[in-house]
Amino acid sequence: MPDTDPETRSRASLPLSPSLDDTLVAAHMPRQFRPLDRRVFGMAALAILLGVAAAMIAWALKGLIGLITNLAFYGRWSFDFISPAANHLGPWMIAVPVVGGLIVGVMARWGSRAIRGHGIPEAMEQILLNESRIPPRVTWLKPVSSAIAIGTGGPFGAEGPIIATGGALGSLIGQLIHVTADERKTLLAAGAAAGMAAVFATPISAVLLAVELLLFERRARSLIPVALAAVAATTVRFVLEGSAPMFPMPHVATAGTAAMVTYVLLGALLGVVSVGVTKLTYGIEDAFEKLPIHWMWWPALGGIVVGVVGYLMPQTLGVGYTNITAVISGQLGLSALLALGLLKLLSWSVALGSGTSGGTLAPLFTIGGALGGALGIGLVTLAPWLHVDPHLAALVCMAAIFAGASRAFLASVVFAFEATQQPHALLPLLGACVAAYLVSGLMMRNTIMTEKIERRGVRVPSDYAADYLDQVQVRDACCRQVVSLRGDQRVIDVRNWLNEDSPDAHHQGFPVIDDNGQLLGVVTRRLLFAAKIAADSTLVDLIQGPPLVVHEDHSLREAADHMVEANVGRLVVMDASDRHRVVGIITRADLLAAHARRLREARLVTRHIGRASAR
């Protein structure tokens, strides 16, 4: 019968004899977690090369956009990256975005449907559902289709397709070489961050954007390659285009108390606007879904609106980077700001809702900046005692609308700083963006990045917390009252004991020891009752291979991973100081029970908040 008395239970803690040392040496143990290993060097080298490649692709794509813009609006062969606003086509220019939309629709129909939209939601979906495997053809279809859409007047920035292309290139490299799914995700995020850094020369915000929207984690083994890719891409960008800020603006002074409060309130207002913009965009997309024609034709229909709006206000056409500079530098008056913001919103939301190939960053920056600039002019006129700077108001609103729409709030703050190099703007930016983040989070569950894939049933993580199981050691959760069996016991005797339904017989697995309490292995209830097992055989005959063990100082996460990899429900626990002593056993149920403490603490906090609110 099993040794259930205290004396026999304590035998499991006796030292193993030298004759059994080999058993423990061969025992399977969890991999000890290490934040970094030598493999990160290889990933870092790949990321640097990827960053250089992404920067070259960004430079080439901007040249391709310039070529298409020059051909479509000016009838000349030139790679100059210019705006289509100065064209002299008259009403005929309305047809240019329509033709561009038609070409993109054809490419999506017979090339890849994945080129539709602004790319980041599609990358998120591939990360969450497909181990970061983006189809290789998207690597060239996305930039070409985006260049056609933008070059023919689409109201998108070049950064969207470049970010998507960099991510697709990273995914492709991860599919061509032998890497894990996590490493492939890192390469995808590194390519995307490099693409953004290559366009705007904003490496830190590019890394933050990758963390907040693509990595769904912040680990050293992923952060280092992503950061190196962004650094490499920015360095190449400096060589090719210079190191001047992307959006130069007049120097801003430190904000006073009244102005600081105003900027935070403006951020909260832009949080509301970001919710409205997101709902408008997806409402237009839903309207296109109801049309009785194939989705291939939708970008051409959206091109009609883009063309008409562009005819009324040519500044809404194309990437619009010069518009952002004009907004934050105070080159536009109140009426021009309002017109630019509203018409850009109309043109961009319809174009994006139609499913053409484009992005969100630059259009949102333009819309938010124009609204902020108009509000800043109004506050200077109506409440001069607030000492609001219209330039800074435009900048904080530009960042706040993207923070509210995407919830990438840290990336939004740092981006506005890096793109303008205005150190005194950091505090107002932080206050405005966190206010927008708060308001948006309370008003809207999903974001402009996640709404589309959430509708498809894909759950996107929004909060990144430390793994609770990684914070608890095995010693704090294992059962030390081990119910053990002797190796010389017969299977029939153990079966009879299990059928007696005693309290100690409810376990699903039992350590097997010899007469001296030394571990031989583990047997499970399923194995004991297997039909192929002879009833007169002894338990030592059932031991199959070395035991699966875990040390006291392992984390529950390491123990859980070990169970999953070995497909078992329990592990023998060895002493942390004397690795030859068995001290307990840990099961799946113990792992679940460890979460009980976390849940109890969460309930206590909820009850405390509830009582405080009732008062």
CATH number at residue 539: 3.10.580.10
Phi-psi region of 407 (alpha: psi -120 to 50; beta: other; left: phi over 0): left
Query: What is residue 407's three-state secondary structure?
Result: coil
Least-confidence region, from 274-283, 301-310, 312-321, 494-503:
494-503
Least-confidence region, from 197-201, 368-372, 589-593:
589-593
Q: How far apart are CA 324 and CA 441, in angstroms?
A: 26
Residue whose token pair is 């174009």: 351
Q: How far apart are CA 10 and CA 137, in angstroms?
A: 63
* pLDDT of the residue at 23: 46
Q: Is residue 518 part of a domain?
A: yes
Q: Is residue 608 part of a domain?
A: no
Question: Does 448 score more than 90 pLDDT?
Answer: no
* pLDDT of the residue at 263: 96
- The residues with which 1 forms a beta bridge, in sequence order, are none
Confidence of residue 462 (pLDDT cuts 50, 70, 90): confident
Nearest alpha carbon to residue 278 among 125, 442, 449, 395 = 449
Angle at 449 between CA 452 and CA 167, to 5 degrees: 105
* pLDDT of the residue at 24: 45
Give yes or no: residues 216 and 276 share one domain: no
Domain limits for position 491: 6-30+469-596
* pLDDT of the residue at 31: 60
The H or E element that residue 511 is part of is: strand 509-513
* pLDDT of the residue at 557: 87
End residue of a domain, out of 241, 265, 294:
241
* pLDDT of the residue at 10: 33
Confidence of residue 30 (pLDDT cuts 50, 70, 90): low
**30 versus 561: which is more confidently predicted?**
561
Q: Are strands 570-574 and 582-587 parallel, antiparallel or unpaired?
A: antiparallel
Identity of the highest mean pLDDT range in 152-156, 314-318, 391-395, 492-496:
391-395
Q: Is residue 612 part of a domain?
A: no
Give yes or no: residues 415 and 516 share one domain: no
* pLDDT of the residue at 578: 67
Question: Does 449 score more than 80 pLDDT?
Answer: yes
Least-confidence region, from 19-33, 159-173, 440-454:
19-33
For the chain, the domain total comes to 3
* pLDDT of the residue at 460: 78
Q: Is residue 610 part of a domain?
A: no
| Number of neighbouring beta carbons within 10 Å of residue 181 | 13
Roughly what angle, to the nearest 10 degrees, separates helices 361-382 and 321-328?
20
Query: What is residue 553's three-state secondary structure?
Result: coil
The whole-angstrom distance between residue 161's C-alpha and the CA centroid of its chain comes to 17
Q: How far apart are CA 84 and CA 87, in angstroms?
A: 6
Give yes or no: residues 376 and 494 share one domain: no
Confidence of residue 498 (pLDDT cuts 50, 70, 90): confident
Give yes or no: residues 269 and 326 share one domain: yes
Give yes or no: residues 26 and 130 share one domain: no
Tell me what the mean pLDDT of segment 294-301 comes to. 91
Tens of pLDDT, residues 557-607? 888 888 888 888 888 888 877 666 778 888 888 888 887 777 776 666 555
End residue of a domain, out of 408, 426, 455:
455
Q: Is residue 65 part of a domain?
A: yes
CATH number at residue 333: 1.10.3080.10
Give the single-character DSSP code of 71.
Answer: I
Identity of the highest mean pLDDT range in 24-33, 401-410, 511-520:
401-410
- Token duo for residue 500: 């007696």
Query: What is residue 153's three-state secondary structure?
Result: coil
| Number of neighbouring beta carbons within 10 Å of residue 109 | 13
Nearest alpha carbon to residue 206 among 179, 173, 228, 180 = 228
Give yes or no: residues 285 and 311 share one domain: yes
| Number of neighbouring beta carbons within 10 Å of residue 578 | 11
534-555 burial string, b = 16+ CB within 10 Å, else e?
A: eeeebbbebbeeebbbbbbebb
Tell me what the mean pLDDT of segment 242-260 comes to. 91
Tens of pLDDT, residues 56-89? 999 998 899 999 999 999 989 988 888 888 888 8
Tell me what the mean pLDDT of segment 347-351 comes to. 92
Give yes or no: residues 476 and 344 share one domain: no
Residue type, 478: C
Question: Does 16 score more than 70 pLDDT?
Answer: no
Tell me what the mean pLDDT of segment 467-486 comes to. 83
Q: Is residue 463 part of a domain?
A: no
Q: Is residue 57 part of a domain?
A: yes
Give yes or no: residues 70 and 214 share one domain: yes
Under 8 Å between Cβ of 510 and 2: yes
Q: Is residue 613 part of a domain?
A: no
Least-confidence region, from 192-196, 215-219, 247-251, 426-430:
215-219
Largest Cα separation within the chain, whole Å, is: 98
**475 versus 500: which is more confidently predicted?**
475
**504 versus 288: which is more confidently predicted?**
288
Give just the sign of the alpha carbon dihedral 586, 592, 598, 603.
Answer: negative
Give yes or no: residues 50 and 25 share one domain: no
* pLDDT of the residue at 470: 83
End residue of a domain, out of 185, 214, 241:
241
Query: What is residue 571's three-state secondary structure?
Result: strand
Give yes or no: residues 203 and 101 share one domain: yes
Give the single-character DSSP code of 16.
Answer: P
Give yes or no: residues 203 and 323 share one domain: no
Q: How far apart are CA 55 and CA 232, in angstroms?
A: 8
Which positions ≥6 away from 30 have C-beta within 8 Å? 550, 554, 558, 559, 561, 562
Question: Does 611 score more than 50 pLDDT?
Answer: yes
Question: Does 5 score more than 70 pLDDT?
Answer: no
Give just the sign of the alpha carbon dihedral 353, 356, 359, 362.
Answer: negative
- Token duo for residue 388: 């609001």
The backbone torsions φ and ψ at residue 440, rounded to the nearest 5 degrees and listed phi first, read: -60, -45
Confidence of residue 13 (pLDDT cuts 50, 70, 90): very low
Question: Does 33 score more than 70 pLDDT?
Answer: no
Give yes or no: residues 451 and 581 share one domain: no
Least-confidence region, from 234-238, 239-243, 605-609:
605-609
Query: How much of the chain, in percent, has pLDDT values that exceed 90?
Result: 41
Question: Does 118 score more than 70 pLDDT?
Answer: no
Question: Does 154 score more than 90 pLDDT?
Answer: no
